[in-house]
Amino acid sequence: MEVLKKKDLVKPVQDYIASGRPFLGVCLGLQLLFEGSEESSGVEGLGIIPGTVGGFDPTVLKLPVPHIGWNTLDLQQDSELLARVQGQRVYFVHSYRAKADERNRDWVLAQSTYGEDFIAAVKKGNVMACQFHPEKSGTVGLGIFEAFLDPASASASASGASGASGGSTGGSSHTTGLGKRVIACLDVRSNDQGDLVVTKGDQYDVREKDDTKGVRNLGKPVELAGEYYLQGADEVAFLNITGFRDCPLQDAPMIDVMKATSERVFVPLTVGGGIKAFTDENGKFYSALDVAAAYFRAGADKVSIGSDAVDAVLSLRARGGGQKTPTYQAKALDGSTAIEQISRVYGKQAVVVSIDPKRVWVADPSATKHQVVKVTDGTRGPQGEVYAWWQCTVMGGRETRDLGAVELAMGVEHLGAGEILLNCIDKDGQNSGFDIDLVRAVSDAVSIPVIASSGAGCPQHFAEVFEQTHCAAALAAGIFHRKEVPVMDVKKHMNDQGIPVRI
Q: Is 55 exposed, middle or buried (0-12, 13-18, 19+ CB in 10 A)?
A: middle
User: Catalytic pick from 135, 407, 428, 437?
Assistant: 135
Which has the closest alpha carbon to 442: 432, 431, 454? 454
User: Catalytic pick from 80, 187, 419, 435?
Assistant: 187
Convert the pLDDT of each residue in 327-358 to its tens digit. Answer: 676 667 889 999 999 999 999 999 999 999 99
What whole-number distance in Å separates Cα of residue 305 and Cα of residue 420? 10
Domain ranges of the chain: 2-160, 182-496
Q: Confidence band (pLDDT; 50, 70, 90) for 384?
A: very high
The answer to whether residue 356 is catalytic is yes
The answer to whether residue 187 is catalytic is yes
The answer to whether residue 133 is catalytic is yes
Predicted pLDDT of residue 326: 54
CATH number of 2-160: 3.40.50.880
What whole-number distance in Å separates Cα of residue 219 and Cα of residue 209? 18
Q: Max alpha carbon distance in the chain (Å)? A: 76
Output the CA–CA distances (angstroms, integers) from residue 289 to 197, 397, 448, in the order listed: 27, 25, 22
Predicted pLDDT of residue 108: 98
Q: What is the arithmetic mean of pLDDT over 253-278? A: 91
Predicted pLDDT of residue 321: 66
Mapping DSSP onto H, E and C, the string for 225-282 reads: HHHHHHHCCCEEEEEECCHHHHCHHHCHHHHHHHHHHHCCCCCCEEEECCCCCEECCC
Flag whether the pTM goes above 0.95. no
Buried b / exposed e over 348-386, threshold 16 CB at 10 Å, is: bbbbbbbbbbbbbbbeeeeebebbbbebeeeeeeeeebe
User: Catalytic pick from 227, 308, 356, 437?
Assistant: 356
CATH number of 182-496: 3.20.20.70
Predicted pLDDT of residue 33: 98
Of the given ranges (102-106, 116-120, 245-249), which has the lowest mean pLDDT?
245-249
Report cis status (omega within 30 of 0) of the bond before 66: yes
Q: Return the SS3 of 353.
A: strand
Q: Confidence band (pLDDT; 50, 70, 90) for 385?
A: very high
User: Catalytic pick from 133, 370, 461, 481?
Assistant: 133
Predicted pLDDT of residue 191: 60
pLDDT at 155 over 70: no
